[in-house]
Amino acid sequence: MLSVKGIHTYYGNIHALKGVSFEVLEGEIVTLIGANGAGKSTTLMSLSGVHPPRRGTISLEGKEITRLTPDAIVRLGISQVPEGRKIFPQLTVRENLLMGAYSRNDAVKIREDLERVYDLFPVLKERHRQDGGTLSGGEQQMLAIGRALMARPRLLLLDEPSLGLAPIVVERIFRIIVEIREHGTTILLVEQNAFMALSIANRGYVIETGRVVMEDEAKDLLSDPRVKEAYLGE
């Protein structure tokens, strides 16, 4: 579904990604793990068109999307849940969700998808008139995921969904991620909680200082001594 080949992304003169390559097959959960500042979030920003790479190519289902604008990339079926959630705090839960469908004009299907999000996250339906900024951290993460799903993506980019959440909430979020995949959405997951990410993923890539240094089946990365020492605290 997604092919990333040798991308180099910069912030000014800072060379953040140095030839990153990987692929995501349809129906997979693929995770990118690594330390803070390794380039994980920059990779997602490059995929979504927010920080396009200077070199290299990004292709979705065989079509190159490297130079497309973020809104065009959303219309092609890629939606991102950003690090830190970034909901609209003064909009209601329902308004936040509808913002995720801004590029669509199929009103009937938008209503259907809104109900699907409410089925996935019942607390959002209970609080649909409540301002997003008044929700708990876990509820805001659910809202951010729901908003991304309202774009009806085929590929969902998740950036640090466990950030700042209590362990019991993290477990719930990860169960929902698996459920989203089971409903047909392919997922690329960036996550510092390497154990949780590898526990649900099909495959994983390890990024260090802007380069992919390891790749394997997720179960094999979980048992790899180098990954255990560097990312699993063992």
Residue 55 belongs to domain with CATH number: 3.40.50.300
Q: What is the pLDDT of residue 43?
A: 98
Looking at the structure of the chain, the number of domains it has is 1
pLDDT surpasses 80 at 41:
yes
Using pLDDT thresholds of 50, 70 and 90, give the confidence band for residue 234: low
Q: Is residue 130 part of a domain?
A: no
Q: Is residue 114 part of a domain?
A: no
Q: Is residue 211 part of a domain?
A: yes
Q: Is residue 75 part of a domain?
A: yes
Q: Is residue 111 part of a domain?
A: no
Q: What is the pLDDT of residue 233?
A: 76
pLDDT surpasses 80 at 11:
yes
Q: Is residue 142 part of a domain?
A: no
Percent of the chain with pLDDT over 90: 93
Report how far residue 225's alpha carbon sits from residue 203's, in angstroms, rounded to the nearest whole number. 17
Q: How many other β-carbons are positioned within 10 Å of the β-carbon of residue 95?
A: 15
Q: Is residue 182 part of a domain?
A: yes
Q: Which domain holds residue 164?
A: 2-85+154-231
Average pLDDT over residues 15-20: 98
Tens of pLDDT, residues 136-166: 999 999 999 999 999 999 999 999 999 989 9
pLDDT surpasses 90 at 188:
yes
Report how far residue 47's alpha carbon sits from residue 58's, in angstroms, rounded to the nearest whole number. 7
Q: Is residue 124 part of a domain?
A: no
